[in-house]
Amino acid sequence: MSTRIVLHEADIARALTRISHEILESNKGPEGLVLLGIPTRGVTLAERIGSLVSEFGGASVPVGALDVTMYRDDLHRNPTRTPHPTQIPAGGIDGKVVVLVDDVLFSGRSIRAALDALQGIGRPAAVRLATLVDRGHRELPIRPDFVGKNLPSAREERVFVRLAETDGEEFVSIEGR
């Protein structure tokens, strides 16, 4: 098995800075934005992006977490998946532009589950998607609006995102057979 690092800590920081600027430009400022991270690492990324958007946009942006576990269509294959708490910011999501944040976009099934989970919470004005890594291999017609790195990969390869807050180290690697 071979492992190679494709993003180092500085690369991740640059990607998140770029994503933050793109979100602000797309939304024409921070007003009406809500960032919802998909556990586990998507929440950490959403918090980082939220800080950057607030810094660059001059106004605080609410950040929360959206657990999609019970909305997944693969629970029968992975029944031991542990749910995480969903935390919706106090202002809710009704009429807001919600940016879902995830670490790796692969088949699109987690994002489909996130869209289903949002239905029970409120009615956003729009939903956008930000991902640190887009590795392709979509099974559903889902495309990210904001991407840190497009990483073409073989289906059997695995992409790992490690973040200082959750893993004590920071990089993105790809592991092949």
pLDDT tens-digit map of 16-26: 999 999 999 99
The strand pairing partners of 131, in sequence order, are: 102, 147
In a domain, 52, yes or no: yes
In a domain, 78, yes or no: no
Which pLDDT value is given to residue 122?
Answer: 96
pLDDT by residue (tens digit) across 62-98? 999 999 988 877 766 766 667 888 999 999 999 999 9
In a domain, 127, yes or no: yes
CATH of residue 10: 3.40.50.2020
- Determine the 3-state secondary structure of 156 from DSSP: coil
In a domain, 77, yes or no: no
C-alpha span between 76 and 119 (Å, rounded): 22
C-alpha span between 37 and 148 (Å, rounded): 15
Place of tokens 């098995």: 1
Domain carrying residue 169: 2-72+85-176
In a domain, 80, yes or no: no
In a domain, 42, yes or no: yes
pLDDT by residue (tens digit) across 88-117? 999 999 999 999 999 999 999 999 999 999
Structural domains counted in the chain: 1
In a domain, 17, yes or no: yes
